[in-house]
Structure 1
Amino acid sequence: MSNIFDSHCHLVDIDSNELSVITEQLSNLSLLSVSKSIDDWDKTLELGRLFPNILPAIGIHPWFINESSVENHLGSLKSTIALTNSLSMIGEIGLDFDSKYIHSKEIQIHVFEYQVEVALRCGLGISIHCRKAFDEVRSVLGSHNVSRAIMHGFSGSYEQAKPFIGLGCKLGIGTQLLNKQSTKYERLVRQSPIESLVLETDAPYGKHGQNLSHYDRLMVIAKRIATIKQLDVAEVVDMTYASAKSIIRCE
């Protein structure tokens, strides 16, 4: 089996039986396990201590910003990073301007910028959630000269992706690609350079392929990319692995 990289999953949210299966596959599998809020940082970091191929990322997701305690949480993020040398990335962070979350737009931008600045000071890459906020995310990344970032579950068009690719960011390609009715997503993959793509499952939240093992889910995504781009699947696995490693600290 090929060694393959999952650039975005939430292992602390996976049930114990599935997690056991995943840990048995780690000789052929590397995973970035991202957090959503201060509540799951310790568990995420503990998984990284227990399993070298599980790479932990901590951060504050825009859905989980609590305005009354956000400054304390940002301070805790900074101190937690200072106390650990096992962190691989900052994430999942970003902006979400969907109608459900647009009310917190200003505090979202503040929290996102703060975490971007922390990542840069610490020499860490960033895992980014972006919905209906492409211009704002691009503006923050551009103004801070960010290049080491993964646009998780990128949902935009290739035209929207080009500025991020130009910055050096990678596009997370996940199980949505297994929905063959998603022609927009297929076009994005076809038009984007293979060097700009990384694989992800977003487990346990990815909607498609949940009947497959974690490894097989990634392989099916890689095979679909290979078909769309007329490449050998081994080449897709190797190149997406190398691209993920170029963004994610794997020490």
Structure 2
Amino acid sequence: MTIYNPTKIPEAVYDSHTHLNDDKLYFDVPAYIGRASEMKVLEMNVVGYDEKSNQRALQIAHDFASEGVRAILGFQPEDSVYFDDDAQKKLADQLADPAVIGVGETGLDWHWPEPGKDVQIASFKRHLELAKQFGLPATIHMRDSFDDIYAILKEMQINNFEMHSFAGTPQQAAKLIDLGGYISFSGLATFKNAHDVHQTVKETPLSRMLVETDAPYLAPVPKRGQANEPAFTKYVVDDLAAMIGIDRSRLADITTENAHSLWPEK
């Protein structure tokens, strides 16, 4: 399976995290991939978060492999209560598929009281064990849970992961990078009031930066308020490049190369 294609144009963009498997987008996947291509978003990871979305992500990755689409499969914290032994066995079977390049999204979300912390932590650790077993990077969701996520990653010696739609501080990002992580920025980083995220963007080493949409959520400025889609990764790159003070083509190149480093050929 080839992810990197050296014949692609230099400013091609890689959407590291999108949900074409979501009901809001799944009804017309070819159109969304077509519009992404028109905006030079030529590679993307479709990320699962429960049993149905995992199956959809795998199917989309098979159907559009030639369009640079890959799958990342797992159970998000919100659905960790459903990640039982049977679900883990099925996920393990799916992770062996060549179209699957990562485990997730998984993680910890302390914003809501349910599922409980013990359930989320158990699910997170089981996902990380699968990532180690299959030699795959983990895609991690973090919300109000930095201390616990950092401690678990360090304890389990996880050194190959993406922090998806990062909303933390520069200090948190630096500690995660020291463990081996990549920091992925979504449309959230384009919001005017996201001051902590803006500072994190400026202080994150370019060699550890990724871009994403998290579509259909978090549409970036100037599309804020609309349903997000992979094509809008272009606006994330534009905004981040202006914030950092570098050419947008260079940032597109760097973040695409970083994605190829984190998710190499399988």
Counterpart of 2:111, as a letter, is D
Q: 1:41 to 1:77 in 2, by over 3 A?
A: same
Which residue matches 2:85?
71
Identical residues among aligned pairs (%): 23
Match of 1:21 in 2: 31
- For 1:183, the equivalent position in structure 2 comes to 195
Q: Take 1:212 and 1:110, find their aligned partners in 2: how far apart are those partners?
A: 33
The answer to whether the aligner puts 1:46 opposite 2:89 as a matched pair is no
Look up the match of 1:242: 257
Q: Answer yes or no: is the 8 Å Cα contact 2:165–2:184 preserved in 1.
A: yes
Superposition deviation, residue 144 in structure 1: 2.3
State yes or no: 1:194 paired with 2:206. Answer: yes
Counterparts of 1:9-158 in structure 2 under 5 Å? 9-13=18-22, 14-16=24-26, 19-24=29-34, 25-26=36-37, 28=40, 29-52=42-65, 53-66=68-81, 70-82=84-96, 84-101=97-114, 104-158=116-170
**8 Å contact kept, 1:59–1:115:** yes
CA distance in 2, matches of 1:15, 1:149: 26
Partner Cα distance (1:23, 1:224) in 2: 22
Which portions of structure 1, spanning 4 or more consecutive aligned residues, are displaced by more than 4 angstroms?
Answer: 210-216
Pair 1:168 & 2:180 matched: yes
Question: Could you tell me which amino acid in structure 2 is paired with residue 160 of structure 1?
Answer: Q
| Count of residues in correspondence between the two structures | 248
TM-score normalized with structure 2 length:
0.86
What's the offset of the Cα at 1:249?
3.9
Gapped regions of structure 2 (runs ≥ 5) = 1-8
Task: State the match for 2:240 in structure 1.
Answer: 225
| Maintained 8 Å contact 1:198/1:241 | yes
Label 1:212 to 1:226 Cα distance change in 2 as closer, same or farther (>3 A).
farther
Structure 2: distance between partners of 1:227 and 1:76? 43
TM-score, normalised via structure 1 length = 0.90
- For 1:57 and 1:146, locate their aligned partners in 2 and report how far apart those are by CA, in whole Å: 17
Structure 2 counterpart of 1:3, which letter? A
Return the offset for 1:23.
2.3
